[in-house]
């Protein structure tokens, strides 16, 4: 059994067959799914999915590219809902300088604010960081993110920088990119990382692994990511599944 630690089943890409698809998950070996909030609307839909499906848990937070209109009363709403039994983390939060929208200063402000929120509600964080390595590390250090714990989702930086996040006690979300022909940098990172710091994630509906690259992703396709990690590490599929599943429960202590 495997755990998808990062998915967006609230996305409209699933509107046509969401129920059917989610009902097929446990039969296909997917034990738990953590649906990740990215906007206020997505957080509300995440709560609905948590209520509808036993095996779906959630994280609540605002993605940097959605932080432009955020207000303190929105943060208060998230804070209240973090108390829900099945809310396992604050996220996804962070910095995205690839899209560079909204303004970097605004992204930084809400990243800092949501790290503080995680501290208030005593939950780990799900970090989104793209083309913003230095500022991400600087802010995480300044805010003592080490005490919060969490995961760097869709890790896209170097092996060298991976050590910095390892030293902060963070997990690494590994998904479809590791199967890509041009995913050499991530393959090196996976080779370097201890298995007990990796968790599986899809980022569904995005980042489907080969041979589905470019198509809609879903958690059942994680078997291809498991195969790739097993091959890189020279270990069995069972060991990858067993260890990443245990890691997911350690990463999100409220996940049951
Ligand atoms: Ni995501």
The answer to whether 102 touches 67, Cβ cutoff 8 Å, is yes
Please give the distance, rounded to the nearest whole angstrom, from the Cα atom of residue 63 to the centre of ligand 1: 8
Q: What percent of the chain has pLDDT over 90?
A: 97
Encode pLDDT of 52-101 as tens digits.
999 999 999 999 999 999 999 999 999 999 999 999 999 999 999 998 88
**What is the C-alpha to C-alpha distance for residues 20 and 252, in angstroms, rounded to an integer?**
26
The answer to whether 201 touches 232, Cβ cutoff 8 Å, is no
Please give the distance, rounded to the nearest whole angstrom, from the Cα atom of residue 28 to the centre of ligand 1: 22
Please give the distance, rounded to the nearest whole angstrom, from the Cα atom of residue 170 to the centre of ligand 1: 17
pLDDT of residue 183: 84
Please give the distance, rounded to the nearest whole angstrom, from the Cα atom of residue 8 to the centre of ligand 1: 7
pLDDT of residue 13: 98
Domain residues of the chain, as ranges?
A: 2-255
Please give the average per-residue pLDDT across 222-244, as a whole number.
Answer: 98
Domain 2-255 sits in which CATH superfamily?
Metal-dependent hydrolases (3.20.20.140)
Please give the distance, rounded to the nearest whole angstrom, from the Cα atom of residue 239 to the centre of ligand 1: 26
Please give the distance, rounded to the nearest whole angstrom, from the Cα atom of residue 1 to the centre of ligand 1: 22
The single-letter DSSP state of residue 205 is: T
**What are the two backbone dihedrals, phi and then psi, of residue 32, each rounded to the nearest 5 degrees?**
-140, 150
> Tokens 């839909």 sit at which residue?
45
Please give the distance, rounded to the nearest whole angstrom, from the Cα atom of residue 143 to the centre of ligand 1: 22
Residue 182: pLDDT over 90: no
Please give the average per-residue pLDDT across 171-183, as a whole number.
Answer: 94
Distances (CA, A) of 208 to 36, 44, 89, 175: 17, 25, 24, 8
Residue 111: pLDDT over 90: yes
Please give the distance, rounded to the nearest whole angstrom, from the Cα atom of residue 7 to the centre of ligand 1: 6
pLDDT of residue 212: 95
Residue 190: pLDDT over 90: yes
Please give the distance, rounded to the nearest whole angstrom, from the Cα atom of residue 153 to the centre of ligand 1: 7
Order of strands across the sheet that contains 171-174? 2-7, 30-36, 56-60, 87-96, 125-130, 150-152, 171-174, 198-200
Average pLDDT over the chain, rounded to whole? 97
């Amino acid at each position: 059994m495997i755990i998808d630690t990062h998915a967006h089943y609230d996305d409209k890409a699933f509107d046509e067959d969401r129920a059917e698809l989610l009902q097929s998950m446990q039969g296909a070996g997917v034990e738990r799914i953590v649906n990740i909030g990215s906007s206020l609307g997505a957080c509300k839909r995440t709560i609905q999915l948590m209520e509808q499906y036993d095996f779906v848990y959630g994280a609540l937070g605002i993605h940097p590219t959605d932080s432009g209109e955020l207000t303190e009363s929105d943060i208060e709403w998230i804070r209240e809902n973090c108390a829900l039994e099945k809310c396992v983390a604050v996220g996804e939060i962070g910095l995205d300088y690839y899209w560079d929208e909204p303004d970097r200063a605004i992204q930084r402000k809400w990243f800092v604010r949501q790290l503080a929120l995680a501290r208030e509600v005593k939950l780990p964080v799900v970090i989104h960081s793209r083309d913003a390595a230095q500022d991400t590390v600087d802010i995480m250090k300044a805010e003592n993110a080490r005490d919060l714990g969490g995961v760097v989702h869709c890790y896209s930086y170097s092996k060298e920088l991976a050590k910095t996040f390892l030293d902060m006690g963070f997990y690494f979300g590994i998904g479809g990119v590791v199967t890509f022909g041009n995913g050499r940098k991530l393959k090196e990172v996976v080779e370097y990382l201890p298995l007990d710091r990796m968790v599986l994630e899809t980022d569904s509906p995005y980042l489907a692994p080969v041979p589905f690259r470019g198509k809609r992703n879903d958690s059942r396709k994680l078997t291809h990511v498991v195969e790739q990690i097993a091959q890189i590490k020279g270990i069995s599929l069972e060991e990858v599944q067993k260890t990443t599943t245990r890691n997911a429960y350690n990463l999100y202590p409220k996940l049951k």
